[in-house]
Amino acid sequence: MSHVTAIVLVRDGAERLPGTLQALGTQDRVPDALVVVDLASRDSSARLAADFSPARVIIERRDATLADALAAVRAGGPPAGQEEMYWILSQDHQPDSGALAALLAELERSASVAIVGPKLIRADRDGVIFELGETMTRSGESYPVVSAELDQGQHDVMSDVLGVSAAGMLIRARVYQDVGGFNPAVGASDAGLELCLRARMAGYRVVVAPLARIIAWPSELIGPAWPSGYQARLVARRRERRALLFRRLSYAPALWLPALWLGLVPLALARTLWLVVAKAAGQVPGEWWATFTVALNPKAIAAGRRRVRQSGRLGRAHGVGRRAFAGLLLNRRQAFRARRDAPGVRQAGPARPDIAFFASGGGWLVLALAAVSIGLSWRYLTAAGLAGGALGPLGPDLWGLWKSTLGWQTPSGLVPADPFSAVLASLGTATWWSPSYALVLLWLLALPGAGLVGFWCAARFTPRTSLRVVAGILWALSPSLHAALVDGRPGGVITHLLLPLTVAALWSARQSAASSARAALLIMVVAAATPSLLPSLLAAWLIVLAGSGRRFFANLGIIAPTITLFAPLVIAQLQAGRPWAILTDPGPVVSAPPVGIRDLLAFSPSSGLSGGLSGVAPDAWAGWIGPGAVGVLLVIGLVGSLVPGKPANWAVAGLGLAAISLAEARWVSQIGFSASGDRQAQLWLGGLMSLAWLGLGIAVLVGIRYAGRLGSAVAVVVTLTGVVVALPFGYLQASGSSAVVAAPDRAVPALVAAQAQREGAIATLLIEPQRTGGVRVTRLIGSLVINAQRTALLTRTQPSPQEVTLATLAASLTSLSTAPVADALASQNIRFVLLSPAAPDAPAAVETAARAKAALATHSELTSVGSSAFGSLWRVNLPLTGQTDTDPTPWALAIAALQAMIIAVTFLLALPISKGAGAKALPEPFNPLNAGKTSSARRSQTRRDES
Amino acid sequence: MTGRLRSGPRALAAFIGRLVGLGAGVAVVAASFSVPPPRVLAAPRSLSINPTGGVAQLVCPGPVLLPGVDPSHATTNASLAPSVVVGTGTMREALNTDNPSAGRDGSPSRVTDPSPHAQLAAAEITDLATEGYRGLSAGACFAPTVDAWLVGASSALGDTAVLQLASPTTAASVVTLTVWGSAGKIDASLPPVRVPAGSAVSLSLAGIAPNQDALALHVHADGGPITAWVSVSEISGLTPQGIDQVAPGAAPSTALAIAGLIVDASTATATAGEAGQSGPKLRLLAPEAEASVQITVRSESGLSSSHFEATLSAGAVTELTLGGLSPGSYAVSMTASAPVVAAAWSALTDGAARDYAWTAASEALGDQAQVVIPDHLTAQLHVLNTDQSVRTLAISGRTPTTLTLQPGQAQSVPLESGGWALSGSAGMVASVSLLRPAGMASYPVLGPSAAQGTVTVYPR
């Protein structure tokens, strides 16, 4: 005969306790004894329980574990001749009337079965199995055998399992004692599995009784976790993780124990990285909590191992091997499926059209644009680097590239690097064998790249081939892209290539963590390349944030990498009282002719449009061709914005974006903050113009879409219009009148480059005759590279003492003068003096160059080394006494490390990852609103809501 | 979904909403384009620096060189008499030279003064009296330059012309020569001349441009800067006709001035049209483009002033005789429609002996200038005020004196030997003439070197 003691754990369970106790009373097989274990309830639970007159046990600890509860219960014994059994329940587990009978039947049928588990049914979804049996992988990760399935009796033949949850478990009291009882060190959710493992080791069987149904609510007392809030789910996950680690240390052979223990922290580190990649960064603190609570609790490990040993001895006595349950473990593929199908895993958002890149013409588009690109820029095909505009060599080597991203210590403080230098360093690293070549590739690939980007972004929103191809063409023919290519603006080219991707990522950031991270990285790069877009990007971010809803806090972080990267520059400029100078374009200062109204109206950020047109059309109306072409696009866009239907809203939004960007560009068209030599920079308007073009493009696509059968004709008109605005720039580029020219991959004589490579810290005094007849003086460390330019220096209004010293030195060197130069040369560590050739069309510069050349030769401190295309070079014959100021300071390194860490984490978050390969999902939340619906029904409803 | 038509008030409201949105966009664009945008540009930041200290070094030409006079070195240019340097420098070092008689006669030399406020001035005098060559020559000592324009010399029968190039600095020079004759530019397709650092080389112009009776040269140096002179001499039959050293003059310009053209009584011609063998001449070259030149010759006494006009074809060296000038000192001013270079030539005879001197157009002086005068010779300082205002020139030295010059006025003052300092000389052109019986020479007072004065430096 069996004597069943039902043990009901209660803690503040007034709401459901009566129902549970009632259900116990109406069982087909009523438990022989009822013990309510009250874990110091603060509500009326005690009084309610008393109505059922059980043997009540009160434990005055709210955090008592299952083990404590059972220890308290075991005091009373069963009548003689009857086998004592415990039925473990809580206030949140309400058995069906046949539950106990079904469980007991399993125990009575076979003496080898020690533990029987029920089928837990979700209280919030009628008929959905919450859990039926538990198992784990070889490495100890636990999974339910069956979960989140509609119960249609399909599992009712199941029997042997690795373990069952403690909730609703019926266990022989003798076995419970033999294997050492529940382990108090294991949390409530894993206690059942852990106990079952030991029972298995001791040679007993664990089975499920699928006919025993227990309705389960989320419970913190026993059984699998099923918490409602995100935080609570994280807590449940970290307990699960602690249980896993604990299990691992308890079951490991003694020989392995030290290695396992020492490996805990490295393992946590590795898993931290993995969790970030798997977009589960929220679980990282829990991972460390679990690691340390396990590692620093040797007593619990020892107790756990004692229990395992005890069970093992018993098992050997029963003739069972140590791995009695090996066949019941999950293998890798099963675990992968379990993770993928787990109910907590987020399902895909609204359905997106297939990209079908080649099938819908993307391949041909990119191929054609690549051919056009080669036709236009064949001059650069064999170049080692590019020069002109803001272009120049990168490098000189990998170390130099990345060193230029660090703050630079000067006597007057840390001069922060421009964020763009990190972008250039990444580019240069891509062609590590010759960093400058990265810019050549950028120029060659810009056109097909822009087409690809336009096509791809359109493909995410429309399945129509024609719209996708037109989007690609429009984006590749944008005046801002071609102006950037002709005027030599690497930042402009990069911005144009990334802007649509940024907008698309921001759009998806409302739904996906990976998109948020991608948007964060893209915004960072675009802002670094064109800081004048910062206000627009911030506004876009705020708009996305406002529409984020549940993902508000996740999307708050989108701006974090940008802030991190810009922080040193922003702080420096704020300290200097030049907040607006943050918007200064990075790289060498380029002085461009002012951009006229007609250029702006043609969405061109450069006067190159009207300039190029004047080469192919009569002057009188050349200036109106561009605005006229854009007018055609505008009409199509206006049609798109006034047609009925939802897409018209897109067109209106696009035209609004275009209007605002255009107005902003006009407003800042004569603003600049940096100067170098006799050149004054104006803000590069290309970023704003790309944005305006994007808005116009969206409206035009809507217009074409509406045109129906006329669509293809309109698409042809749009394409031709794009060709008209891009043609003048193409003409400039193809005819060699562009500012960009092929150049060697260095801008200093080979001797200087070689010496800099060898000595490292030497400086070169670069003297450049200016068109005004003055000289610009620069102290180069190593080589002359564009990634070393710093807007924090170029926007300064007062020369620093060092600059005054150098200016005086340069004046003395370029004059027939007896003024002493030796001290200044030595103390500034100047090994070479390089006099650049003057522009032949500037007489004042030619005169200055002649003067400087005559004077330089009269200084006995200098020896002429020779002349080259880079200018005349002199070597300084003095022992150098200056400080080597190229070693990065700890401060600069610390800042860079912090930036790198945040960017790396964002990058890892942005990596796409397949669902099953990811981290184990958090438990599925309990959602009372959905009570009564199956999960698949809920999913399909969500999809309907979102579409 | 395409164009799903909806009717009713909601569709109308949506349509109006879009119209309002578009209108707002148009308004934003119109507003921003209707007002001129703010103009805020960072001003280029420059420092104007006038380096302390004066000219660090001058290079003196050494003795007059003659081609092949030494029988043992028939192909080498050599000197016949030592020269004497007068000047203020404290250190003097000889440059290496290819002159085989340099040991005896001296060689081009570098005069330096390392003191921070050095004011260098120097000239080198050669007084030659051999059977074949006779005359007085004075060469100014120059600061090294990149470009030098030399107007003078001839390679016609009886004339010798030896170009001397010195590279006084630590940098070797590669010198490109351009030579013009009376028929135009002489395409000698010369290889560039390499002048080693701290050395001087000489080459006979007869080998480059033979049988040219009127030469002008442009010397351009790559690498280190150079100094250049042309030693000239003339023999008629067996009679020496004089020697001189042609000094670099002003670079091509549309306004040139020559101070100190001496018309000696022995060579003055009575009438304007007469082209005497030894009468004063003006040699002009418009190197790039045809130029019409307005020439004013004004006497220092202020009594006479004559104007005439000439048209120069591009690249052809043109000589104009200055007939009809009464004996005395003159200043020549020229304005041209295209840049020209110019120098004046005058001679004196004393019985059978004759000597001549080239006086090149020179650059205007700065406010301060230095002059040095040799011993034993009658020296005159000639000054021409090219400025538009009245100027007072203070000459300080052993016997200080002051000159007041009206715009365009020329004056001269005799100076004793020694160093003299000019102040208030801005905008003036000056030269020194030296006379002895049957000998005349001239050298310019140097203006500030092109490589002196304030530099505009952009510190970034």
**A224 to A216, A236, A244, A346, A616: CA distances (angstroms):** 10, 9, 14, 20, 77
Mark A458-480 as b/e (b = at least 16 C-beta within 10 Å): bbebbebbbbbbbbbbbbbbbbb
Cβ of residue A579 closer than 8 Å to a chain B Cβ: no
A386 SS3 class: strand
Is pLDDT larger for residue A191 or for residue B297? B297
Arithmetic mean of pLDDT, A106-130: 83
Provide the shortest C-alpha distance from residue B215 to chain A (in Å): 25
DSSP structure class, residue A254? G
> Measuring CA to CA, how many Å separate B425 from each of A239, B57, B343, B447?
96, 22, 21, 9
Inter-chain CB proximity A847 and B28 less than 8 Å: no
The kind and range of the H/E element at A555 are: helix A552-556
Interatomic CA distance for residues A242 and A248, integer angstroms = 10
**Helix, strand, coil % over all residues of chain A, rounded to 5:** 55, 15, 35
In the stretch 128-157 of chain B, residues with CB closer than 8 A to chain A read 143-147
Average pLDDT, integer, range B122-130: 86
Contacts of A806 in chain B (CB under 8 A): 459
Contact A164, A115 (CB under 8 A): yes
pLDDT higher than threshold 80 for residue B250: yes
pLDDT beyond 90 at B23: yes
Read off the pLDDT of each residue in A354-372 and give the average, rounded to a whole number: 86
User: Distance from B360 to chain A by nearest Cα, in Å?
Assistant: 22
**Per-residue model confidence (pLDDT) at position A935:** 42
Tell which phi-psi region holds residue B369, choosing left (phi > 0), alpha (psi between -120 and 50) or beta.
Answer: beta
Alpha-carbon Rg of chain A, whole angstroms? Answer: 37
Reading across the β-sheet that carries B159-167, which strands appear in turn? B96-97, B199-204, B159-167, B227-236, B239-246
pLDDT band at A939 (very low <50, low <70, confident <90, very high): very low
The b/e string for B303-333 (b: 16+ C-beta within 10 A; e otherwise) is eeeeeeebebeebbbbebbbbbbeebbbbbb
Touching check for B222 and chain A: CB below 8 Å?
Answer: yes
pLDDT 10s digits, A60-81:
777 777 777 777 776 556 666 7
Flag if A797 and B11 touch (Cβ within 8 Å): no
Confidence of residue B434 (pLDDT cuts 50, 70, 90): very high
Among A780, A753, A629, smallest CA distance to A696 is for A629
Q: A850, B41: Cβ pair inside 8 Å?
A: no
Out of A582-596, A676-690, A710-724, A851-865, least confident range: A851-865
A131 within 8 A of A165, measured Cβ to Cβ: yes
Average pLDDT over residues A639-644: 87
Q: Are A768 and A776 in contact (CB under 8 A)?
A: yes
Q: Look at residue A938 and tell me whether its pLDDT is greater than 60.
A: no
Q: Compute how many other C-beta atoms are within 10 angstroms of the C-beta atom of residue B74.
A: 10
Q: Which letter does DSSP use for residue B69 in this model?
A: -
Higher pLDDT, A941 or A663: A663
pLDDT value, residue B55: 62
Backbone region of residue A290 per phi and psi (left: phi > 0; alpha: psi in -120 to 50; beta: other values):
alpha
Question: Which segment of A346-350, A510-514, A910-914 scores lowest on mean pLDDT?
Answer: A346-350
Name residues 33-72 of chain B within 8 A of A (Cβ).
33, 37-47, 49-57
Task: Please give the pLDDT value at position B4.
Answer: 47
Chain B, residues 186-215, CB within 8 A of chain A, namely: 197
Average pLDDT over residues B281-286: 93
Looking at the complex, does the CB of residue A681 fall below 8 Å from at least one CB of chain B? Answer: yes
Q: Distance between CA B23 and CA A936 in Å, rounded?
A: 46
Backbone phi, psi, residue A11, to 5°: -145, 110
Contacts with B25 from chain A: Cβ below 8 Å: 655-656, 658-660
Kindly report, residue by residue over A409-449, the tens digit of the pLDDT: 777 778 899 999 999 999 999 999 999 999 999 999 999 99
Provide the β-strand partners of residue B391. B405
**Which residue of chain A comes nearest to B224, CA vs CA?**
A857
Chain B positions touching A664 (Cβ under 8 A) are 32
Q: How far apart are alpha carbons A272 and A281 in whole angstroms?
A: 8
Measured in whole angstroms, the distance separating CA B437 from the mean position of its chain's CA atoms is 28
What pLDDT does A720 receive?
92
Distance from the A798 Cα atom to the nearest Cα atom in chain B, whole angstroms: 8
Amino acid at A911: L
Higher model confidence: residue A39 or residue A791?
A: A791
Would you place residue A501 in the very low, low, confident or very high pLDDT band (cuts 50, 70, 90)?
very high
Tell me if B96 sits within 8 A of B135, measured CB to CB.
Answer: no
> Mind spelling out the 3-state secondary structure of A361-376?
CHHHHHHHHHHHHHHH
pLDDT digits (tens, 9 = 90+) for A484-496: 999 999 999 999 9
Interface-testing mutation among A858, A862, A867, with chain B (most B C-beta atoms within 10 A): A858
Q: For residue A156, which phi and psi values (nearest 5 degrees)?
A: -75, -5
Can you tell me which residue has the tokens 């948020």? A516
Q: Which residues of A touch B57 (CB under 8 A)?
A: 816, 858
Looking at mean pLDDT, say which of A135-144, A447-456, A507-516, A782-791 comes out highest: A447-456
Statement: residue B381 has pLDDT above 50: yes
Task: Name the residue among A659, A671, A815 with its Cβ closest to that of B29.
Answer: A659
Contact A884, A829 (CB under 8 A): yes
The predicted model gives A323-340 an average pLDDT of 70
The residue length of chain A stands at: 947
Which is more confidently placed, A370 or A549? A370
Q: What are phi and psi of A857, to 5 degrees?
A: -70, -15
Instruction: Work out whether the CA dihedral A309, A314, A316, A320 comes out positive or negative.
Output: negative
Classify burial at B273, counting beta carbons within 10 Å of its beta carbon; exposed 0-12, middle 13-18, buried 19 or more: exposed
Residue-level pLDDT at A321 = 60
Average pLDDT value for residue range A189-198: 83
Residue A705 tokens read as 């879409």
For chain A, give the percent of residues with pLDDT over 70: 89
Least CA distance to A820: which residue of chain B?
B116
Contact status, residue A219 vs residue A226, Cβ threshold 8 Å: yes
Residue B330's pLDDT band (cuts 50, 70, 90): very high
Instruction: Specify the higher pLDDT residue, A186 or A379.
Output: A379
Average pLDDT of the residues of chain A: 83
Is there a contact between A45 and A10 (Cβ–Cβ < 8 Å)?
yes
Percent of chain B with pLDDT over 70: 92
Q: Has the ipTM of the complex gone over 0.90?
A: no
Tens digit of each residue's pLDDT (9 = 90 or more) over B383-432:
999 988 898 999 988 889 999 999 989 999 999 888 888 988 888 999 99
Per-residue pLDDT tens digits for B34-81: 988 888 888 888 888 887 666 667 888 888 888 877 666 667 787 877
Portion 369-428 of B in contact with A at CB < 8 A: none
Q: What is the pLDDT of residue A553?
A: 83
Average pLDDT of the residues in B278-284:
88
Query: Measured between alpha carbons, how far is residue A445 from residues A366, A448, A468 in Å?
Result: 10, 6, 19
Lowest mean pLDDT among A5-9, B110-114, B372-376: B110-114
Candidate from A722-731, A918-927, B392-401 with smallest mean pLDDT? A918-927
Mean pLDDT across the stretch A47-56? Answer: 73
Q: Which amino acid is at B123?
A: A
Q: Do A817 and B40 touch (CB under 8 A)?
A: no
Specify whether the CB–CB gap between B450 and A851 falls below 8 A: yes
Q: Nearest Cβ partner of A806 from B53, B450, B459?
A: B459
Report whether pLDDT(A139) > 80. no
pLDDT, position A76: 58
Evaluate whether B241 touches B350 at the Cβ level (below 8 Å). no
Average of per-residue pLDDT across A555-564: 92
A671 touches chain B (CB under 8 A): yes
Predicted pLDDT at A947: 35
The 10s digit of each residue's pLDDT in A393-404 is 987 788 888 988
Residue B8, chain A, CB below 8 Å: the answer is: no
With cut-offs at 50, 70 and 90, classify the pLDDT of residue A699.
very high
Searching chain B, which residue's CA lies closest to the CA of residue A769? Answer: B457
Question: What are the angstrom distances between the C-alpha of A65 and each of A9, A142, A183, A214, A247?
Answer: 10, 20, 9, 22, 17
pLDDT of residue A613: 65
Instruction: Reply yes or no on whether the pLDDT at A633 is more than 90.
Output: yes
Question: Residue A732 and residue A738: Cα distance in Å, rounded?
Answer: 5
A109-118, A214-223, A699-708, B137-146: least confidently modelled range? A214-223
- Considering just the CA atoms, what is the radius of gyration of chain B in Å? 30
DSSP reduced 3-state for A485? helix
Which of A646, A670, A679 minimises the CB distance to B44? A679
Least reliable range by pLDDT among A19-23, A312-316, A334-338:
A334-338
Residue A942 pLDDT grade (very low, low, confident, very high; cuts 50, 70, 90): very low
Instruction: Look at residue A601 and tell me whether its pLDDT is greater than 50.
Output: yes
Inter-chain Cβ pairs, chain A and chain B, closer than 8 A: 247
Minimal Cα distance from A795: which residue of B?
Answer: B42
Q: Does A805 touch chain B (CB under 8 A)?
A: no
Whether the pLDDT of residue A349 is over 50: the answer is no
Query: Does residue A928 register a pLDDT over 50?
Result: no
| Prediction pTM value | 0.75
CA distance A105 to A212: 10
For the ranges A299-313, A535-549, A818-832, B271-285, the lowest mean pLDDT is seen at B271-285
Answer whether A854 sits within 8 Å of B146, measured CB to CB.
yes
> Is the pLDDT confidence value at B150 over 90?
yes
Please give the DSSP secondary-structure letter assigned to residue B44.
P
Per residue in A799-822, pLDDT (tens digit) is 888 889 999 999 989 887 777 888
What is the per-residue pLDDT for A42? 81
